[in-house]
């Protein structure tokens, strides 16, 4: 049975979602307090295929929890909240959520979105990511370029993993900062350029697969 983590302080909403999803073969584990949710995130949520997250919950709010989660996991996140202002929605996406749903919503639509995200995430959760002459194993944290294993520091490995998960995408510096350094990083975005330079050097000739998009960011291609 698939499992979803629901962080929501309204018991009624928790019960309705849990019952509907259970009928579809998906287990929903509900947490109603931000502090408890934070402890769970810190201990690891590998057993969950997706997180449903309210913004206005006691303890730690949903935005804070999403920021914390994104430092540790790429598990899909959907905000379900009554806060539908444009700035709130943009904040949710800036923090790395995969979707933002404003209450009230249709349970059937929510379920379909969850299913689609979990299926898509499942294609990225294998241990191997590969593009051209570059390959990494996300479980053993090994990296290979032109068939030879190379050692990468954590930041370079995290950057390469994100680029491999988004092959042929234009990835800007701000996105790399939020996903690799964390949303609360306040230094210059030029730190990304420094680490990209180190990454290219470590990859040798395969480093040419990482292209600089002037004024925009970077792209990994075959």
Which band of pLDDT confidence, cut at 50, 70 and 90, is reported for residue 96? confident
Cα end-to-end span (Å), the chain: 37
Residue 80 belongs to domain spanning: 2-122
Check pLDDT > 70 for residue 187.
no
Burial class (CB in 10 A: 0-12, 13-18, 19+), 31: buried
CA–CA separation, 159 vs 156, rounded Å?
Answer: 5
Residues 81 and 21 in one domain: yes
Q: What percent of the chain has pLDDT over 90?
A: 44
Higher pLDDT, 209 or 3: 209
The two three-digit tokens of residue 108, written as one number = 């059937």
Last residue of a domain, one of 122, 151, 167: 122
Residues 149 and 213 in one domain: yes
Residues 152 and 95 in one domain: no
Which band of pLDDT confidence, cut at 50, 70 and 90, is reported for residue 74? confident
For the entire predicted model, the pTM comes to: 0.58
CA–CA separation, 90 vs 27, rounded Å?
Answer: 29
CA–CA separation, 72 vs 70, rounded Å?
Answer: 5
Q: What is the pLDDT of residues 98-147, one digit of tens each?
A: 889 998 889 999 998 898 888 776 654 556 888 999 999 877 788 999 99
Residues 15 and 110 in one domain: yes
Residues 133 and 53 in one domain: no
Residue 8 · residue 78 · CB < 8 Å: no
Higher pLDDT, 126 or 53: 53
Higher pLDDT, 120 or 40: 40
Pairing of strands 77-81, 99-102: parallel
Q: What is the pLDDT of residue 42?
A: 87
């Amino acid at each position: 049975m698939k499992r979803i983590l629901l962080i929501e302080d309204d018991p009624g909403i928790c019960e309705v979602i849990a019952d509907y999803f259970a009928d579809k073969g998906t287990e929903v584990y509900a947490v109603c307090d931000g502090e408890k949710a934070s402890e769970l995130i810190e201990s690891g949520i590998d057993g969950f295929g997706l997180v449903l997250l309210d913004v206005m919950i006691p303890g730690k709010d949903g935005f804070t929890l999403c920021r914390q989660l994104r430092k540790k996991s790429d598990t899909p996140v959907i905000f379900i909240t009554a806060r539908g202002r444009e700035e709130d929605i943009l904040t949710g996406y800036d923090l790395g959520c995969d979707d933002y749903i404003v209450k009230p919503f249709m349970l059937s639509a929510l379920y379909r979105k969850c299913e689609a995200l979990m299926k898509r995430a499942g294609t990225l959760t294998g241990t191997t990511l590969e593009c051209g002459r570059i390959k990494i194993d996300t479980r053993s944290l090994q990296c290979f370029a032109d068939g030879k294993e190379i050692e990468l520091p954590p930041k370079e490995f995290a950057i390469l993993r994100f680029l491999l998960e988004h092959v042929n995408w234009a990835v800007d510096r701000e996105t790399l900062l939020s996903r690799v350094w964390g949303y609360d990083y306040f230094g210059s975005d030029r730190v990304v350029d420094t680490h990209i330079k180190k990454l290219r050097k470590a990859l040798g000739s395969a480093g040419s697969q990482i292209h600089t998009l002037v004024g925009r960011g970077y792209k990994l291609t075959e």
